[in-house]
Amino acid sequence: MAELLLELFSEEIPARMQARAADDLKRLVCDGLKAAGFAFIGARAFATPRRLALVVDGLPVARDDVSEERRGPRVGAPDQAVQGFLKGAGLFSLDQAEKRDTGKGEFWFAVITRKGGPTAEALPGIIDTAMKALPWPKSMKWGSSTMQWVRPLQSIVALFDGKVLAGEVAPGGAMKPIRFGDTTRGHRFLSKGGISVTDFADYSAKLRAAHVMLDAAERKKVILDGAEKLCAGAQVTLKADEGLLDEVAGLVEWPVPLMGTIDAAFMDVPPEVLIVSMKTHQRYFATTKKDGLLANRFVVVANNVTRDGGATIVDGNERVLRARLSDAKFFWDQDRKMRLEDRLPGLKNIVFHAKLGTQGERVGRIAKLAVEIAGHVPGADRALVEQAALLCKADLVSGMVGEFPELQGIIGRYYALSEELPLAVAEAIGDHYAPAGPNDRCPDAPVSIAVSLADKLDALVSFWSIGEKPTGSRDPFALRRAALGVIRIVIENKIRLPLQPFLKADDLLAFFAERLKVQMREKGVRHDVVDAVLALGGEDDLVRLLARVEALQSFLGSEAGKNLLTAYGRAANIVRAEEKKDKALAARIAGKPDAALLEQAEEKAVAASLAEVERALASSLEAEDFAGAMNAFAGLRVPIDAFFDKVTVNVADKPELRLNRLKLLNQIRATMDSVADFSKIEG
């Protein structure tokens, strides 16, 4: 058994692409090996800013001849099916296939033989195919090359069983092919010259000696441990940020955490501004004090070791941050000289969408909608709701948001507070974009709820009205996120908001239903249970709908629910079978059965039980006691079982009796379906 070592060395790969690229390289090479009939023990992929590496363990040195049989279409099948079979099997005509009788007819068979031989002869082709298929989100050409790659490719290490594979990759144009070799390079600044390697153990050891940590997980640990040690010494706490940690680990090959200081002059700027400036523009980690407030220290991760212990690096980063924060402080001081209300005319100069008008026009729609919604939100003061809605986009014309677009709403809140506007108005301005994602908090203050719902519903209705609906993976206006935001706000705050009057389109309500199913499935709610409740139609109160779903799922999980589902199935199946035979039957069996035609005690018992259930259902549904409504069905199982044991439904010589009994079974189905469509329940 032997080892394959592959390294693709290039200029710096964007941090956000590294992990995916390493996984894709592993998948593509392993798929190629399997397709060629090579078994192996395992594979590991690695990424640093300048390289993708892969090691595959346990490959055979040589491969035996392999034969594989592949069954094709039936003899006499359409030519299209035959041609597809021949192409998939690598045959040119049916003369190369065999005709066999399988006992179920004659079929074409192909016997595919793969010649064996040294594994090393097959590997270059597998590597070349994998490299060309690597799906970079963005790629480039360089020099006169015609080859697309994420960054200029410089060298390829390709070793099998300790020997260099005979192969190359041609960038195209006038550029020379990049031949497979055994030489890599270490850290850009802390290592010089090429490094010759023989296998993965030698490769990883020599890279470490050349100041390259191959494993991203190890780099993350070094960064985190070093940062926390620095913070402990400065009596501050590192602000957790897993996304930033992943990104920084992809920017360095030899991480060296260092601590810098924020000038005191900038500490009166809102902490969100400081954090965004440090994180987004400089990739610094923020820190907090014991009281949770932002501290004046930050952690920067260098990709170098200096003689002065990093003092020069820290000084340089502090100067860069000082320039960044000087701009932020300037905007902070200047913006507060103008009231939010005075900024509103500026919104007329910002186009929201060519077909939907300006941000000024949109704010007018949001304000009107928010006031309507306020009537459904307990404790929402309509005057405050209207004020917050009118001002919620005012910070879009501020200098701060122009510099830091990700702070829209957040900065508006600070400006509202500095003007001493009502706290509820300021909080609503800051909250109206929330929730921005599944892990973001939901607004829970009445004014914030009304404005946030109005913002999202306006976006949905507006884009729906011009035909800009999400299709497949395409959702440029984040309408799925907006719908999920509405669902979360309504459900988490138990807002009794009828959606239909605000959505104005049945297919938009159906879109909400699909989003609700996605969210419920993530919470462990069965999709068929949601379907059963949605099938009732006309339900646009999400709180009530969810209560129905929860009650139904709970009931179906009980023994009584399972038993009743069986009984429902027996009744519904008989009725459906008869309806298929007689298309006019459905209209004839609608309504309650004729009590005078109920002959047997078992029929009468079912009818009596149904009457009790319907009475209980009426009061339970009116009180929105859906658990009580489900439990009302529990008493039906015994009389229904007795009915099926003792009563013959299809009495051929008594058509009126047969019809009446079908009415009784249909009543069972209709009564249960008044709470949920039980036919949607799987099993």
pLDDT digits (tens, 9 = 90+) for 290-333: 999 999 999 999 999 999 999 999 999 999 999 999 999 999 99
- Does the structure show a pLDDT above 80 at 115? no
- Does the structure show a pLDDT above 90 at 63? no
Kindly state the tokens that stand for 144.
């006169």
Among 666, 663, 495, smallest CA distance to 573 is for: 666
Mean pLDDT taken over the chain: 92
Say what the pLDDT of residue 585 is.
86
| 3 state SS of 436 | coil
- Does the structure show a pLDDT above 90 at 564? no
d(CA 165, CA 174): 24
Please give the single-letter amino acid code of residue 101. D
Kindly state the tokens that stand for 44.
């590991």
Burial label, 152 (beta-carbon count in 10 A; 0-12, 13-18, 19+)? middle
| 3 state SS of 166 | coil
426 near 419, Cβ under 8 Å? no
- The β-bridge relationship of strands 357-358 and 183-185 is unpaired
Say what the pLDDT of residue 652 is.
80
DSSP state of 307: T
Please give the single-letter amino acid code of residue 157. V
- The pTM of the whole model exceeds 0.85: no
User: Looking at the domain covering 2-62+118-209, what would its CATH class be?
Assistant: alpha beta
Query: 566 pLDDT band (50/70/90 cuts)?
Result: confident
More confident: 67 or 371: 371
Q: At what angle do helices 506-522 and 479-492 cross, to 10 degrees?
A: 70
Hey, where are the domains in the chain?
2-62+118-209, 66-114, 216-335, 367-536, 558-680
User: In terms of CATH, what superfamily is 558-680?
Assistant: Isoleucyl-tRNA Synthetase; Domain 1 (1.10.730.10)
d(CA 562, CA 556): 6
Say what the pLDDT of residue 235 is.
97
pLDDT digits (tens, 9 = 90+) for 651-673: 888 889 999 999 999 999 999 88
pLDDT digits (tens, 9 = 90+) for 423-440: 999 999 999 999 998 889
- Does the structure show a pLDDT above 80 at 252? yes
Say what the pLDDT of residue 683 is.
66
DSSP assignment of 202-231 equals HHHHHHHHTT----HHHHHHHHHHHHHHHH
pLDDT digits (tens, 9 = 90+) for 572-627: 888 988 888 888 888 888 888 999 999 999 999 999 999 999 999 999 989 999 99
